[in-house]
Amino acid sequence: MHNKTIAEISRDLAAGVYTSVDITRELLARIEQHDAQYNSFITVTAEQALAQAAAADARRAAGQASAWTGVPIAHKDIFCTNGVLTTCGSKMLSNFVAPYDATIVDHFNQAGAVSLGKLNMDEFAMGSSNESSYYGPVANPWDRSRVPGGSSGGSAAAVAARLVPGATASDTGGSIRQPAAFCGLTGLKPTYGRVSRWGMIAYASSLDQAGVITRTAEDAAMMLNVMAGLDAKDSTCMDHPVPDYTATLNDSLAGLTIGLPKEYFSRDLSPAMAEKVRTAIAHYEQLGATVKDISLPNTHLAIPAYYIIAPAECSANLSRMDGVRFGYRCDDPKDINDLFKRSRGEGFGNEVKRRIMIGTYALSAGFYDAYYNKAQQVRRLIKNDFVEAFKEVDVIMGPTTPTPAFPQGSNSDDPVAMYLEDIFTIALNLAGLPGMSIPCGHINQLPVGLQLIGNYFDEARLLNCAHQFQQVTDWHQHTPHDLA
């Protein structure tokens, strides 16, 4: 049962092949048996999961089931879950039990899904490798000496290891798409404002977006059906019609125009990766799409702009973590200043401290115009590049990452090298566009991803493109060689 996708589980439950309790017990047993080698979970909610599964089976027996009734998933530990530890991978929140559910958690609960627990992540979503978690690094199931990507590395590792069929995740600069690429999975970052951020602990409020990591585009469509929509509690959530994302998965791609940005095929991309991407594009041409070379001239400015804007926003968002209202508190503080300094100094990890300091500097009176304001102007230039490109093409494609998953520890002492791992993903967050990563091959037995970029609120087209690709390829069906 653990090799089933979300769609297959939904159909099997409807057909009575097995019960929700059956599959929940099997997955909980797999987590207990295998997760020590991956460290993908921070908290396993076994008792709650079995209670939800039993309730789901009762609803099904009473003829009250939906497509999601009894389907197991897990949540990234950035989403508040009522009565469950919600840590954001940080010592600062290692004792925080959320008193409410995030909107997307509530939506899955209302749909009848079963939550198996909370998944590991880079501390406060700051990282590209899932090595900055207070709860230890997460290992890539394809090669446990390598990183799974970050910050949603726990979500990716759990799905790749077949511990859970799908997981929620979040993406601030590539934190869904990069782990999906590194772990051979499908990752979807929706348009900014498509999915509520209420109850998702903020890193950079103008960039953060909730999304999903699954094995297939069909599964991602099913999850987005539950998550998308207006939320009155979130002022950044957009009132835009929500289609049935599964309804157009099988539409023809004849007439589709794909844009290939020349900037994505620069020296930053390994030749082997470029070959995999071009081979994937050839499949789309066989499916009826046409390809057009385009330019996104301000792509090279995405990383410097992002690493001013995101740290600036994080320095503001994390100012509430002071050891007084909530969060870790140091022992025996001498006075209020000592309480603040030591609680934050002991509660935050090095990467979080680095970004807080960068952001505070960029927002300071003498440097606001030179750094933060200039970065926001560059952000508009990057957005305009995409707006112009989508006048000519329907979808933009390219690599998700410059290389496959890198070895653990290889970039730990070089923050700039770590930041450059997001070179192809960050621009989408600055522009607020939807993006996906889907498996498109292997390099040295490690999976690599193809990135699909859509126009605003065009997730249905992205999912259709991804699904059609997965009908003519089998990269999404490959399993890490060491999994039982």
Each residue's pLDDT tens digit, 286-327: 999 999 999 999 999 999 999 999 999 999 999 989 888 778
- Whether residue 115 contacts residue 105, with contact meaning beta carbons closer than 8 Å, is answered with yes
- Is residue 76 flagged as an active site residue? yes
What is the number of alpha carbons within 13 Å of residue 182 lying toward its C-beta?
38
- Is residue 175 flagged as an active site residue? yes
Mean pLDDT score of the chain, rounded to an integer? 96
Of the residues 151, 155, 170, 196, only one is catalytic, namely 151
CB-based burial of residue 120 (10 Å sphere; 0-12 exposed, 13-18 middle, 19+ buried)? buried
**Domains observed in the chain:** 6-255+458-477 (3.90.1300.10)
Dist. CA 196–CA 231, nearest whole Å: 6
> Is residue 484 very low, low, confident or very high in pLDDT (cuts 50, 70, 90)?
low
38-91 pLDDT, tens digit per residue, is 999 999 999 999 999 999 999 999 999 999 999 999 999 999 999 999 999 999
> Is residue 483 very low, low, confident or very high in pLDDT (cuts 50, 70, 90)?
low
Dist. CA 394–CA 382, nearest whole Å: 18
316-348 pLDDT, tens digit per residue, is 999 989 888 778 999 999 999 999 999 999 999
Of the residues 76, 91, 189, 276, only one is catalytic, namely 76
Compute the C-alpha angle 119/123/126, nearest 5°.
Answer: 110
The encoded tokens of residue 14 equal: 């409807």
Dist. CA 275–CA 330, nearest whole Å: 52
SS3 state of residue 441:
strand
Q: How far is CA 65 from the centre of its chain?
A: 28
429-445 pLDDT, tens digit per residue, is 999 999 999 999 999 99
Query: How confident is the model at residue 420, as a pLDDT?
Result: 84
Sequence-separated (6 or more) residues with CB below 8 Å from residue 201:
78, 79, 80, 86, 88, 93, 124
Of the residues 170, 175, 343, 437, only one is catalytic, namely 175
What is the number of alpha carbons within 13 Å of residue 412 lying toward its C-beta?
14
345-404 pLDDT, tens digit per residue, is 999 999 999 999 999 999 998 889 999 999 999 999 999 999 999 999 999 999 999 999
Question: What's the predicted TM-score (pTM) here?
Answer: 0.96
Q: In this predicted model, which residue has the larger pLDDT, 141 or 421? A: 141
The encoded tokens of residue 374 equal: 């200039």
69-84 pLDDT, tens digit per residue, is 999 999 999 999 999 9
SS3 state of residue 75:
strand
- Is residue 353 flagged as an active site residue? no
Backbone angles phi, psi at 299, to 5 degrees: -55, -40
